[in-house]
Every structure is written in C-alpha cells, then in structure tokens.
C-alpha cells in the first residue's frame, strides 16, 4: 500500500450563500473566532499526517495563497514591536505546510475540482476535505478515516447520521455491516427524498480515495449544469472495489451556510481559552 500523505482541498466555489461578504473575499477565508476555515482544514490534515496540501482555487481566491505564504514585512513589524505572540502565530501559519495550488477554470462540480488535481496525486492514495465542513474532535476527522484506510487499504468516507427531514440535503449511503463493525458502502444517492433514502447516513466532506477514483472521474458523464459529480464516481468505485464509511466523532458545523457559520462561531467562541469567559458574559448580559 502506497503511503497516504496527499490531500486535496476544493476551494474554487463562489460562496453565493454568503454574498455580499464573499463578493471579493473567498468563503474559505471567513473566520471561525480567530482562524479562517481553510486553516482549520489544513491543520486537521497535518495532524493526520497528510502534509502534501493541494488547494484547488479559482478566480478571486488569491487571499488563500497569501494566507499560507510568508509575509516578511508583517513578521518584521510584529517582531520589532515586541508582539512576540502574534509574530510566532503568523510565522507558524506561513510555514506550517508546503501548499500547491491548482486552478479550476470552470465551475464544473466537485468531481471536476478533484480531477483538476490528478497530476499532483499520480498513482497514490489521497484525501479530500471540504473546508466549510468544520469537525472538531481530539482525534482529527481525517485521522479517524485514516485508521480505517490503513486497516483495509480501501477508500473511506466520513459519515454522520442526519434526521429524516434532512436527508434530501445530502448524499446518502446504503451499506452492510461487516465483521468488526466496518461499514462497507454498497450504494449512494445524491439528495434523495426521505421516503426513498436507503439510510440516514450522510456523506460529510471527508474522504480518502485509492488512485482508482481519478480514473473513474475521467469517465463520469456530466449531470445537471454540466457538472461532474463526485458522488457518481464514488458509486462506480464501490462497484469495483470495497469502499468503507466511518461515523465521525466530534462537533460538526456546516459552516458553509450562514446558520452553521454563526453556530460555529458561537459555540467555539464560548469554548475559546482566551475569549470564552468574556464572550459568555456578553451573551448572558444580552440575553
């Protein structure tokens, strides 16, 4: 089994649900308390041993590149001003990982975004992480997937259980439970009606794939709007080789929606070591 150290972050979307905030700023740079969403994702990947970071960007996403680049002038100013804590944090972010950037020149779906990074992945297994799905746990979500990948050598998807009234918002999987509690996925349906859903287990923005997925993405037929759906390629993969699912542990926030974004800021703000106590008091005073 080839080592797993590459991970793709699709980040070329227009962030229309956050307009006008995202008119000139990438959605991935929206902050949860004191860090942008994309940084949470990269830190999670690094904690899971995936240190070859590939970010698929589009027009207007330069701020993501700048965030992970060295800003010599800013660092020098912080250092000379004696702001050592801020200097160390800014320096750490700039040097935490080597990041490769790939352009998705047309908005042709999540599957197409992943396919844009195929030449960086080659014939190695790789992760995919959607930064606006924020999952917080002592064991990083990608590490939870990695454990099953290393056990099986197969592709692994992160799952959560959702209420029946929400299944139409997600890709929903069908599965069989194997010995040892492993969930082998047998099919998946994109946004089914509640009465037609095969289960209430939803795919939730964390993936590890064998190299076979890239080959399948090249042959997926575009669907509505000409988009290449990642779910279609995963379904085809599950018919060729085993694909497993992991029920993820942790606090999960759909920070790609304004409601989920506000919840993430409120809950993680209350839990923050430095700001939590004052924020809690402010909320109590307001309420």
How much is the mean pLDDT over the chain? 91
Task: Find tokens 């080592």 and name the residue.
Answer: 3
Instruction: State the sign of the Cα–Cα–Cα–Cα dihedral 163, 168, 173, 176.
Output: positive
In degrees and rounded to multiples of 5, residue 158 shows phi and psi of -80, 135
Tens of pLDDT, residues 133-179: 999 999 999 999 999 999 999 999 999 999 988 888 888 898 998 87
243 confidence band (pLDDT: 50, 70, 90): very high
Is residue 57 a contact partner of residue 41, using CB atoms and an 8 Å limit?
no
pLDDT at 229 exceeding the cut of 90: no
Output DSSP code: residue 225.
Answer: G
pLDDT at 284 exceeding the cut of 90: yes
- To the nearest 10 degrees (0 to 180), the angle between helices 72-80 and 84-95 is 160
Report the percent of the chain where pLDDT is more than 90: 63
How much is the pLDDT for 195? Answer: 83
| DSSP conformation letters of 122-180 | TTS-EEEE-TTEEEE-SS-HHHHHHHHHHHHSSEEEEEEE--GGGGGGSEEEEEEE-GG
Q: Which range has highest mean pLDDT (71-85, 133-147, 190-204)?
A: 133-147
Q: Once rounded to an integer, what is the mean pLDDT over residues 38-55? A: 94
How much is the pLDDT for 276? Answer: 94
Q: Average the pLDDT over each of 21-30, 173-182, 203-212 and give the range with the smallest value.
A: 173-182
Is residue 244 a contact partner of residue 148, using CB atoms and an 8 Å limit?
yes
Rounded to the nearest angstrom, the gap between the alpha carbon of residue 183 and the centroid of all alpha carbons in its chain is 21
Q: Average the pLDDT over each of 196-210, 223-237, 254-268 and give the range with the smallest value.
A: 223-237
pLDDT at 182 exceeding the cut of 70: yes
Q: How far is CA 182 from CA 151, 205, 243, in A?
A: 10, 19, 10
How much is the pLDDT for 53? Answer: 95
How much is the pLDDT for 56? Answer: 95
Report d(CA 119, CA 215) in Å as an integer: 12
Task: Find tokens 């439970």 and name the residue.
Answer: 177
Q: Average the pLDDT over each of 146-150, 190-194, 264-268 and give the range with the smallest value.
A: 190-194
Q: Once rounded to an integer, what is the mean pLDDT over residues 58-81? A: 89
pLDDT at 224 exceeding the cut of 70: no
pLDDT at 122 exceeding the cut of 80: yes
Task: Find tokens 């795919």 and name the residue.
Answer: 203
Rounded to the nearest angstrom, the gap between the alpha carbon of residue 265 and the centroid of all alpha carbons in its chain is 17
């Amino acid at each position: 089994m080839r080592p797993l150290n590459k991970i793709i972050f699709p980040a070329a979307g227009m962030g229309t649900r956050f307009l006008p905030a995202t008119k000139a700023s990438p959605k991935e740079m929206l902050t949860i308390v004191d860090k942008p969403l994309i940084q949470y994702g990269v830190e999670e990947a690094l904690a899971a041993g995936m240190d070859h970071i590939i970010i698929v960007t589009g027009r207007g996403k330069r701020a993501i590149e700048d965030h992970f680049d060295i800003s010599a002038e800013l660092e020098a100013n912080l250092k000379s001003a004696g702001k050592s804590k801020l200097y160390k944090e800014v320096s750490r972010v700039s040097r935490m990982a080597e990041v490769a950037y790939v352009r998705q020149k047309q908005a042709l779906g999540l599957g197409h975004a992943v396919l844009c990074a195929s030449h960086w992945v080659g014939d190695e297994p790789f992760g995919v992480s959607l930064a606006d799905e924020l999952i917080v746990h002592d064991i990083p979500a990608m590490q939870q997937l990695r454990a099953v990948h290393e056990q099986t050598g197969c592709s692994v998807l992160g799952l959560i259980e959702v209420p029946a009234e929400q299944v139409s918002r997600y890709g929903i999987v069908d599965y069989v439970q194997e010995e040892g509690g492993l969930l082998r996925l047998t099919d998946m349906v994109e946004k089914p009606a509640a009465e037609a859903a095969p289960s209430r287990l939803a795919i939730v923005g964390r993936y590890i794939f064998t190299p076979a997925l890239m080959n399948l993405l090249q042959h997926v037929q575009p669907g509505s709007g000409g988009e290449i759906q990642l779910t279609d390629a995963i379904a085809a993969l599950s018919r060729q080789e085993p694909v497993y699912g992991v029920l993820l542990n942790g606090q999960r926030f759909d920070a790609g929606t304004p409601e989920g974004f506000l919840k993430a800021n409120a809950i993680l703000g209350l839990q923050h070591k430095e700001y939590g106590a004052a924020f809690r008091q402010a909320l109590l005073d307001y309420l």
